[in-house]
């Protein structure tokens, strides 16, 4: 579904990604692990087009998307959930969800279904976006992206800064979302809620991929975990 | 000691001025709020709108409704010019810094000034007040042009229409979301370039409309562009850039300061406005209803 080959991405003159290649198949959940600054967020920004790669190729459903504007890439079916959540503060919770809605063939997400998955958001629907706790913001940012009915969702640090119980709930909600058949690419700096969800993983360090394999492979490989993940 | 009726008369003329300022500044503020471009040429579309209204009115010479038809046509023509400006110039400059954008929109100011000189000459033009607003209304014994009430009414209608658009429609949700975080809006699949074009066109139509309704107020002349734009900058700085309630309050304050400033010391009326603006800049640089830049 998604195939990245040898991308190099820069912020201005600083070179961040050094020839990243990775692949996500339809229906899979793949996690991208690595310390802060390893280049995980930049990889996501490269995919969605916010920071397009200077060289290399990104194919989604067989089409080249590198260099296309973010809204075109999003319309093709990629949803981006940013690590800093980026809730619109001047919109209510309900407006935050609805502003993103996009009808397409095979669309499964609508307001009712979102409220079924995140009942808390229904309770808060009249609150403004800037009146939410961290956990509520995280639910809302996931809900908002789901409303675009993506085929592939990029989740950047979905458990960051949340209390353990909230992380657990988020893990369960993401499992529910995965069951709908959506493809997932999740990044985390710590081995957290993505491990239980994922089929495969990549480990990044300093803008390169250092390891790839199944979750079991990673669990067995203490050297990689020690060297790149501090666990 | 001033008597009540004199003060009331000044207050009403301040309100009429506030309504006109709101008409112009609301378009400027909307464009800034979404596109984050300080559009110097907004006043030029206002001026061009007044000149075009004059010419259309003159060509049509239809009694009663001629002025209103001219107003609508001029507004739409300014909208078309807005498309051209956004599509061929501004669109290429969003990624650049403020200085380039300011210079580019100032270039449009100079271009439109020359177009007006070329097309209409340097003379002062005027349009008589259209019916049914030809006469005056007497309030506390003072004659008050009934056309002023038309402008106030139009200002109120625009407040309501913009409020509805910004707070009650999906486009409004997108506008408020994009004003805060256009990158995220784009990542949700909303075509930002089109949004920007339509917002700029809407701002241009508002500029044309306000220019048209100014035409019967006083004279239509070169220089009215800069005169209005600096006052509008004061309005949006005081009220808060990109905020609709802020623009409304800013217009009210500037209108009143001007009306009472003229009574107090006519030469300094503009100076008083900019003293208020400077005070706001010192105490609350993002304006009364604005939001600090992240």
Does the beta-carbon distance from A100 to B188 stay under 8 Å? yes
pLDDT digits 0-9 by tens, A81-113: 999 999 999 999 999 999 998 877 778 899 999
pLDDT at B225 over 70: yes
pLDDT digits 0-9 by tens, B86-103: 999 999 998 888 889 999
Does the beta-carbon distance from A71 to B174 stay under 8 Å? no
Segment B13-18 mean pLDDT: 92
pLDDT digits 0-9 by tens, A60-85: 999 999 999 999 999 999 999 999 99
Residue of A nearest to B183 (CA): A50
Does the beta-carbon distance from A90 to B174 stay under 8 Å? no
Domain that residue A130 falls in = 2-229
Dihedral sign, Cα of residue A87, residue A88, residue A92, residue A97: negative
Interface of A with B (CB under 8 A): 48-50, 69-71, 74-75, 80, 82, 86, 88-91, 95-96, 98-100, 102, 144-145, 148
pLDDT of residue A36: 85
pLDDT at A213 over 90: no
- Mean pLDDT value across chain B: 91
Mutate to test the interface with A, among B175, B181, B187, B291 (most CBs of A within 10 A): B187
| Preceding peptide of A224 cis, ω within 30° | no
Does the beta-carbon distance from A82 to B177 stay under 8 Å? no
- Mean pLDDT value across chain A: 90
For residues A38 and A18, give the distance between their C-alpha atoms in angstroms, rounded to a whole number: 11
Higher pLDDT, B236 or A107: B236
- Which residues of chain B have a CB within 8 Å of the CB of A82? 184, 187
Q: How far is CA A190 from CA A74, A78, B64, B103, in A?
A: 27, 24, 74, 48
Does the beta-carbon distance from B188 to A69 stay under 8 Å? no
pLDDT of residue B137: 85
pLDDT at A204 over 60: yes
Segment B109-136 mean pLDDT: 91
Structure tokens at B63: 């009694």
pLDDT digits 0-9 by tens, B173-201: 999 999 889 999 999 999 999 999 999 99
Residue of B nearest to A143 (CA): B188
pLDDT of residue B67: 93
Q: How many domains does chain A have?
A: 1
B234, part of any domain: no
Structure tokens at A90: 């001047």
- Which residues of chain B have a CB within 8 Å of the CB of A48? 187
Give the distance, in angstroms, between the CA of residue B259 and the centroid of all CA atoms in the same chain: 18
Residue of B nearest to A47 (CA): B187
pLDDT of residue B4: 80
For residues A82 and A75, give the distance between their C-alpha atoms in angstroms, rounded to a whole number: 17
pLDDT of residue B230: 92
Residue A24 sits in a domain whose CATH number is 3.40.50.300
Residue among B255, B25, B28 nearest B148 (CA): B255
B186, part of any domain: yes
pLDDT of residue A216: 83
pLDDT digits 0-9 by tens, B36-48: 888 999 999 999 9
Segment B225-243 mean pLDDT: 92
Q: Give the gap in angstroms from C-alpha B178 to the nearest C-alpha of chain A.
A: 9
* CA angle, B281 then B286 then B291, to 5°: 165
pLDDT digits 0-9 by tens, A134-189: 889 999 999 999 999 999 999 999 988 888 888 888 999 999 999 999 999 999 88
Query: Binning pLDDT at 50, 70 and 90, where does residue B154 land?
Result: very high
pLDDT at A231 over 70: no
Q: How many domains does chain B have?
A: 1
For residues B194 and B174, give the distance between their C-alpha atoms in angstroms, rounded to a whole number: 12
pLDDT at B217 over 90: no
Rounded to two decimals, the pTM is 0.89
- Which residues of chain B have a CB within 8 Å of the CB of A144? 188
Does the beta-carbon distance from B179 to A90 stay under 8 Å? yes
* CA angle, B202 then B208 then B214, to 5°: 135
Does the beta-carbon distance from A71 to B189 stay under 8 Å? yes
Segment B17-41 mean pLDDT: 92
- Which residues of chain A have a CB within 8 Å of the CB of B183? 50, 70, 86
B90, part of any domain: yes
pLDDT of residue A222: 80
Does the beta-carbon distance from B188 to A148 stay under 8 Å? yes
Segment B192-214 mean pLDDT: 95
pLDDT of residue B192: 92
Dihedral sign, Cα of residue A192, residue A194, residue A197, residue A203: negative
Q: How far is CA A106 from CA A52, A59, A103, A111, A184, in A?
A: 29, 22, 9, 16, 18
pLDDT of residue B123: 85
For A99, which of B177, B179, B183 is closest by C-beta distance? Answer: B177
pLDDT of residue A47: 96
Higher pLDDT, A227 or B66: B66
For A91, which of B177, B189, B193 is closest by C-beta distance? Answer: B177
For B181, which of A49, A88, A145 is closest by C-beta distance? Answer: A88
For residues A81 and A138, give the distance between their C-alpha atoms in angstroms, rounded to a whole number: 9
Please state the ipTM of this predicted complex.
0.91
For B189, which of A89, A96, A102 is closest by C-beta distance? Answer: A102
Among residues of chain A, what percentage have pLDDT more than 90?
Answer: 67
pLDDT at A37 over 70: yes
Does the beta-carbon distance from A50 to B188 stay under 8 Å? no
Does the beta-carbon distance from B190 to A48 stay under 8 Å? no
Query: Binning pLDDT at 50, 70 and 90, where does residue B1 land?
Result: low
Does the beta-carbon distance from B187 to A144 stay under 8 Å? no
Does the beta-carbon distance from A90 to B181 stay under 8 Å? no
For residues B57 and B70, give the distance between their C-alpha atoms in angstroms, rounded to a whole number: 5
Higher pLDDT, A121 or A105: A121
Domain that residue B38 falls in = 10-222
Residue tagged 């309050």 (tokens): B249
Does the beta-carbon distance from B180 to A88 stay under 8 Å? yes
- Which residues of chain B have a CB within 8 Å of the CB of A96? 177
- Let me know: does B186 contact A69? Beta carbons within 8 Å: yes
């Amino acid at each position: 579904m998604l195939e990245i080959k040898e991308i190099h991405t820069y912020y201005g003159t600083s070179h961040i990604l050094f020839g990243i290649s990775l692949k996500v198949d339809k229906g899979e959940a793949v996690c991208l692990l690595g310390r802060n600054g390893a280049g995980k967020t930049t990889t996501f920004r490269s995919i969605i087009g916010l920071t397009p790669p200077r060289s290399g190729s990104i194919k989604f459903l067989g089409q080249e998307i590198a260099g296309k504007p973010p809204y075109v890439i999003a319309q093709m079916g990629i949803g981006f959930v940013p690590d800093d959540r980026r809730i619109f503060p001047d919109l209510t919770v309900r407006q935050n969800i609805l502003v993103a809605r996009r009808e397409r063939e095979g669309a499964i997400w609508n307001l009712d279904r979102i409220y079924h998955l995140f009942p808390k958001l229904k309770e808060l629907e009249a609150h403004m976006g800037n009146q939410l706790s961290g956990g509520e913001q995280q639910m809302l940012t996931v809900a908002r992206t789901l409303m675009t009915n993506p085929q592939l969702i990029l989740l950047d640090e979905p458990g960051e800064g949340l209390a353990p119980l909230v992380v657990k709930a988020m893990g369960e909600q993401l499992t529910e979302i995965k069951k709908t058949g959506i493809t997932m690419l999740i990044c985390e700096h710590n081995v957290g809620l993505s491990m239980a969800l994922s089929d495969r993983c990549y480990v990044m360090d300093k803008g390169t991929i250092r390891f790839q394999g199944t979750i079991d492979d990673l669990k067995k490989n203490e050297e990689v975990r020690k060297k790149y993940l501090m666990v | 000691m001033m008597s009540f009726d004199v003060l009331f008369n000044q207050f009403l003329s301040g309100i009429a001025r506030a309504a006109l300022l709101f008409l112009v500044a609301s378009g400027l503020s909307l464009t800034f709020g979404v596109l984050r471009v300080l559009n110097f040429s907004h006043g030029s579309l206002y001026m061009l709108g007044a000149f075009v209204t004059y010419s259309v009115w003159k060509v049509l010479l239809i009694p009663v409704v001629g002025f209103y038809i001219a107003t609508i046509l001029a507004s739409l023509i300014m909208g078309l010019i807005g498309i051209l400006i956004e599509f061929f110039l501004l669109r290429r400059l969003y990624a650049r810094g403020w200085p380039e954008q300011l210079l580019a929109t100032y270039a449009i100011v100079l271009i439109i000034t020359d177009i007006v000189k070329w097309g209409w000459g340097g003379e002062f033009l005027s349009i008589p007040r259209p019916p049914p607003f030809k006469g005056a209304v007497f309030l506390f014994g003072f004659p008050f042009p009934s056309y002023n009430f038309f402008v106030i009414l139009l200002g109120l209608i625009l407040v309501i229409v913009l409020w509805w658009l910004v707070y009650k429609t999906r486009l409004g949700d997108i506008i408020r979301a994009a004003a805060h975080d256009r990158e995220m809006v784009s990542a949700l699949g909303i075509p930002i370039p089109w949004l920007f074009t339509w917002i700029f066109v809407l701002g241009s139509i508002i500029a044309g409309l306000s220019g048209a309704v100014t035409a019967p107020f006083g004279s239509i002349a070169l220089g009215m562009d800069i005169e209005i734009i600096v006052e509008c900058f004061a309005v949006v700085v005081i009220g808060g850039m990109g905020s609709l309630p802020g623009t409304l309050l800013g217009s009210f304050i500037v209108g009143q300061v001007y009306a009472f400033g003229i009574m107090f010391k006519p030469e300094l009326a503009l100076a008083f406005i900019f003293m208020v603006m400077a005070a706001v800049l010192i105490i609350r640089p993002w304006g009364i209803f604005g939001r600090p830049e992240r």
